[in-house]
Amino acid sequence: MTEQYMPPIVSGELGQDTVTAAADRNFYTRGKRTPALPALSEIDGVSVSSLVKEFGSPLFVFSEKDVQAKAREMREAFKSRYPRTSFAWSVKTNYLNAICQILRNEGWIAEVVSDFEYRKARKLGFAGKEIVFNGPHKPKDILELAVSEGALVQIDNLDELGALEEIARHAEGPIELGLRVWLDAGVKPIWSKFGFALANGEAEQAAARVIANPKFKLHTLHCHIGTFILAPDAYRVATRKLVALREQLHIKHDHLVPCLNLGGGFPSRSLLHGMWGPREKAVPPIDAYADAISDVLNKLPAKKRPLLRLESGRSLVDEAGYLLTTVVSVKGVNRSTSASGLVASGHKDRLILSDNSKVGYVVDAGINLLYTAAWYQFDVHPSQFIDTPPIPSRLYGPLCMAIDVIRDNVELPPLAAGDVLTLHPVGAYNVVQSMQFISYRPAVVLIGANGVPELIRTRETLEDIDRPERLPAHLSAA
């Protein structure tokens, strides 16, 4: 050993630091330097507390500005790369009249998947020619109506094709149709429930049958590879395969299909359970998807470039939606020791290591309103800043069911009954899949581009629920 040995030296800091220094340096003990959770006190300049005071809790809130911004971002991403792009709004994602109208004003047509959605789109003012009709079940009467009004029916199966052939016998002029195709784009699961298989030739045979019918015109080849797709390159694969099928039909049947529809499935900036943020890095931007699709189409000769159509939903509206909810009770805390007291107490290690020792908060919004809570970890923010480090917590809904858990593990500051929380993003699928179970469905408010909150759906009442029911005479009260 060549270096001279130096004994340990006790530095001058000994005894000078605070008694919490060790905890402050150790993340897992939730030291006092753990940053407090930021509050979400306003949505588009309107205070959360004022919204709850005026419209009640729980309360869905949507931002018109955000929907507009997402629509314009997507339009710019695709049209700047591939000008011949058409956009259809996936009505099933959120069929509130106000949301649909915002997107209609932005130039979106409607994509529907049922009798109900088709009639709703027509009532909202979408002309038949502004509707793309998808879905595996289209009753004959709605098919007849859609065909007569000029909607683009995208054929899902051979039985539906047979029904359309029968309808066409009595129709005037050729009927424009689309054909849904399923294929392997490298993402799992493969959605083989919908459309015709590409790999075994079924899609080509169905397309040939449409082309051969003088009453039909094959307008679109359509593919929707899944939902919340985090791999932009999957769309590159799907586009190449649709282009190859289109070229095969052109060579064999002398028909160049005018439109390729790549469906939707683009993700919002949400996190699935088990994903790590930040969201901006975990979820690719829409430009990456536009690059993947347009790169393939732009390599085609100019005269062979099709109309590109997209059927977006979640990526447009999810982040525009919030759910305001109020804490109604605190669980799992000895009431002689508040949650705030636990943060600074010797219970910190127990809070971290023992699942049962989490602080639990029951709020007035449950999984009956938040269908997607099974897959997505919503952000949870208090409406007011609480300058206390967050601790491991569990967020329960109000339903009399053990499965009613909105977030099983979430970092929250100490809360009390009456505190308002904001859950975000919840704009896709939750309102339309919410159910009347145990409690009424809440009101929905839109904060307009002018910053004014307006009621766009009233809170449900007992009369709303009772209206469709009928009581047999022999069960009526005497």
For the chain, give the mean pLDDT: 91
Residue 195 pLDDT greater than 90, yes or no: yes
Gap between the Cα atoms of 436 and 460, Å rounded: 9
Superfamily of 21-60+320-460 according to CATH: Lyase, Ornithine Decarboxylase; Chain A, domain 1 (2.40.37.10)
pLDDT band at 27 (very low <50, low <70, confident <90, very high): very low
pLDDT of 334 > 90? The answer is no
Beta-strand pair 59-63/321-331: antiparallel
Rounded mean pLDDT, 133-153: 97
The C-alpha atoms of residue 284 and residue 276 are separated, in whole angstroms, by 14
The dihedral built from the CA positions of residue 335, 341, 343 and 344, taken in this order, carries a sign that is negative
Q: Give the residue from 228, 399, 217 showing the smallest Cα distance to 325.
A: 399
**Distance linking the first and last C-alpha atoms of the chain:** 104
What does CATH list as the number for 134-312? 3.20.20.10
Write out the two tokens for 201: 């030739």
CA separation, residue 377 to residues 175, 370, 469 (Å):
45, 11, 37
Please say whether the beta carbons of 128 and 142 come within 8 A: no
Q: What is the pLDDT of residues 273-299, one digit of tens each?
A: 999 888 889 999 999 999 999 999 999
pLDDT score of 373: 95
Which phi and psi angles does 203 have, rounded to 5°?
A: -65, -40
| Of 2 and 148, the one with more pLDDT | 148
The confidence score (pLDDT) of residue 28 equals 45
Q: According to the model, what pLDDT value does residue 3 have?
A: 60
| Domain extent listing, the chain | 21-60+320-460, 134-312
pLDDT digits (tens, 9 = 90+) for 94-116: 999 999 999 999 999 999 999 99
- pLDDT confidence of residue 57: 98
Measured CA to CA, the distance from residue 18 to residue 22 in angstroms comes to: 9
Compute the chain's Rg from CA coordinates. Answer: 28
φ and ψ of 26, to 5 deg: -110, 110
The alpha carbon of residue 97 and the mean position of all alpha carbons in its chain are separated, in whole angstroms, by 17
Query: To the nearest whole percent, how much of the chain has pLDDT over 70?
Result: 87
**pLDDT average, residue stretch 386-397:** 94
Mean pLDDT of 111-126: 98
